[in-house]
Amino acid sequence: MCCCSTMSNTERTFVAVKPDGIQRGLVGEVIKRFEQRGFRLAAMKMVVASEDLCKQHYIDLKDLPFYPGLCTFMHSGPVVAMIWEGLNIVKNVRLMLGETNPADSKPGSIRGDLCITLGRNLIHGSDSLDSANKEIALWFKPEEIIEYKSCQQAFLYE
């Protein structure tokens, strides 16, 4: 029977479908891939991120030449922000996304299958557990994160 508690020994990560993914109608495909893998969606919302939020999100890149354009692009339209849970999820999501540059991504990865250029690479995923925690706190209030036990848990984990 399902109940309202989360799995133990899991991590959370932040994933965002960027404006190009929204415009191309790929949100469902992204969600489908994570669900099929067995990860649990803990929160999701569609927002047009403020310029300040985009700057804070990418603050680690502030000294790079593409930073202003990246922030402008992320603020240019809706973004679907999500929190996913699962074992080793940060590492696994990064593998599922593929390389930042879609040209370097393997077929079967999200970027390898669905993207062409670096500037329109469809999706963001946290690159470490520390980054995930910071990004989750930046994009979501604690009350927006849903705690529940997936009925599939026993069929996914030993």
Q: How many whole angstroms separate alpha carbon 100 and alpha carbon 9?
A: 28
C-alpha torsion sign, points 80, 139, 146, 123 = positive
Of 92, 123, 97, 124, the C-alpha closest to 112 is 97
> Comparing C-alpha atoms, which of 1, 20, 47 is closest to residue 150?
1
Whole-angstrom Cα distance, residue 158 to residue 151?
14
Strand, coil or helix: 115? coil
**Which amino acid is located at 112 in the chain?**
G
User: Which residues make up each annotated binding site?
Assistant: 18, 66, 94, 100, 111, 121
Structure tokens at 89: 């999820």
Catalytic residues: 124
DSSP 86: E
Residues of each annotated binding site for ATP: 18, 66, 94, 100, 111, 121
